[in-house]
Amino acid sequence: MPSTTTEQRRNARVILNRLKKRYPEISTALQYTEPWQLLVATVMSAQTTDANVNKVTPVLFERWPTPEDLAAANPEDVEQVIFSTGFYKQKTKSIIALAADLVDRYDGVVPADLDELVKLRGVGRKTASVVLAEAFGIPAIAVDTHVKRVAFRLGLTQNTDPTKIEFDLRALYPEKDWEAVSMRFIQFGRDTCHAKKPECGGCLLRDRCIYPDKTGG
């Protein structure tokens, strides 16, 4: 774990407290009833919105209600169901392979362990962290493109590699805040600190931000 100073941790806490005030309640928008469904939905959320995924998952999980069912599904049938989420051929391959791994390795039961989750095909640390935190309540920081950008601009990391960023954030925040950090950084990155043209004018973190290309006065 990287070492941090008291001042760095204090700054990190101020940032999170402001974001908690702005986003008091926050959780994944992906709909699911069982951990394996969240795992599949998270894989499907690549390159699309959670709302788009939610439109197809009820049909997907009604037709193939268990990992065993999905592992044995005809890919063309799955493609038809998830077509509207984009990259449907690749996503179909991914979720069928994932379901097959889940059955082969873990008897269809999602392991509540990051090192085990990332052994499943198509599951990286980000997806594994989302599932751990959301479905099992286990502290984890999911580093997606928004977390990466926001953490970097706020000077909470000097790294660009997601795993290193995850460890930098772990070192700055207590475990109880890990999920809160990633969920709020994601929301803040989506609605304010955009990749292009961030809304710096009225930004609540402007005084904490080291990004040199701020917009607005």
Where on the chain is the footprint of ligand SF4 (CB under 6 A)? 153-154, 192-193, 198-200, 203, 205-206, 209, 211, 214
What minimum distance in Å lies between the beta carbon of 112 and ligand SF4?
A: 33
What minimum distance in Å lies between the beta carbon of 10 and ligand SF4?
A: 18
Q: Over the range 120-132, which residues count as b (16 or more CB within 10 Å of their CB) and which as e?
A: bbbbebbbbbbbb
For ligand SF4, the closer of residues 38 and 181 by Cβ is 181
What is the Cα 28 distance to its own chain's centre?
9
What minimum distance in Å lies between the beta carbon of 179 and ligand SF4?
A: 21
Alpha-carbon gap, residue 217 to 202, rounded angstroms:
9
For ligand SF4, the closer of residues 153 and 170 by Cβ is 153
Q: Which of 20, 89, 113, 126 is catalytic?
A: 126
For ligand SF4, the closer of residues 119 and 206 by Cβ is 206
Q: What are the CA-CA distances from residue 151 to residues 41, 89, 131, 144, 186 (Å)? A: 25, 33, 21, 11, 10
For ligand SF4, the closer of residues 117 and 156 by Cβ is 156
Amino acid identity at 176: K
What minimum distance in Å lies between the beta carbon of 216 and ligand SF4?
A: 8
The angle, 0 to 180 degrees and rounded to 10, between the axes of the packed helices 50-63 and 35-44 is 130
Q: What are the CA-CA distances from residue 116 to residues 32, 65, 101, 149 (Å)? A: 21, 23, 11, 27
**Active-site residue flag, 144:** yes
**Active-site residue flag, 119:** no
Residue 74 in tokens: 């005809």
What minimum distance in Å lies between the beta carbon of 93 and ligand SF4?
A: 36
DSSP single-letter state for residue 155? T
For ligand SF4, the closer of residues 48 and 192 by Cβ is 192
Alpha-carbon gap, residue 154 to 205, rounded angstroms:
8
Alpha-carbon gap, residue 18 to 207, rounded angstroms:
12
In this structure, are residues 125 and 143 in contact, taking their beta carbons and an 8 Å threshold?
yes
Catalytic residues: 126, 144
